[in-house]
Amino acid sequence: MSAEGGMLVRDIMSRAVKTVRPSSTVKEAVEKMNKFGIGSVLVVEGDRPLGIITERDILRRVVEGGMEPSVAKAKDVMSTPLITIQEDATAEEAARLMGDKGIKKLPVLSGGKLVGIVTSTDLIRHTPEFFSLMRFQPKPDRALR
C-alpha cells in the first residue's frame, strides 16, 4: 500500500513471469504458453524485458503471415516497444496505462529489471473500482515485419 492508502502494483502483480529468449522459436513460446495456460510470454535478454508475444501476435504474424512456428524466432514476432510499469506505481496508474494503451498485460520493473507482470484480470480482482479506467481500445494493426 502506498502512503495514500492506494494499492501498489507490487501488491497485486504475479512474480512467476514466463519468459523466452529472443532466439527461442515461436513453437517453444507456444509450448510454454500451453503448459502454463497463459496467453503471453515475455521475451527477455537476461532479466531485461525486450518484448511480449501474445496469442494475437502469433495469429497475426505467424499463422496469417505464413511463418513456420518451428523456424520463426521470438524476436521476429514479439510486440515492441514494450510498455512497462514500475513496481511502486499505484494500481490506478496501471489501470490508466492499460486503458490508454489498449493493452491487458504490463511487465513490472524494478531498477530496469523484470520483477513481475500485472494483468487486467489482476487489477479487476483486486481493485474492481478501476475497471472503468481500463476502457480497452483495440490496438491498431501493426504492419507485419
Using DSSP's 3-state secondary structure scheme, residue 79 falls into: strand
Question: Do residues 40 and 33 touch, judged by C-beta distance below 8 A?
Answer: yes
d(CA 131, CA 39): 20
88, three cell numbers: 511502486
How many domains does the chain fold into? 1
CATH at 89: 3.10.580.10
Express each pLDDT in 1-48 by its tens digit.
Answer: 444 558 899 999 999 999 999 999 999 999 999 999 999 999 999 889
Domain span including residue 110: 9-133
144 in any annotated domain: no
Express each pLDDT in 71-128 by its tens digit.
Answer: 999 999 999 999 999 999 999 999 999 999 989 999 999 998 999 999 988 888 887 6
Strand partners, 116: 108
3 in any annotated domain: no
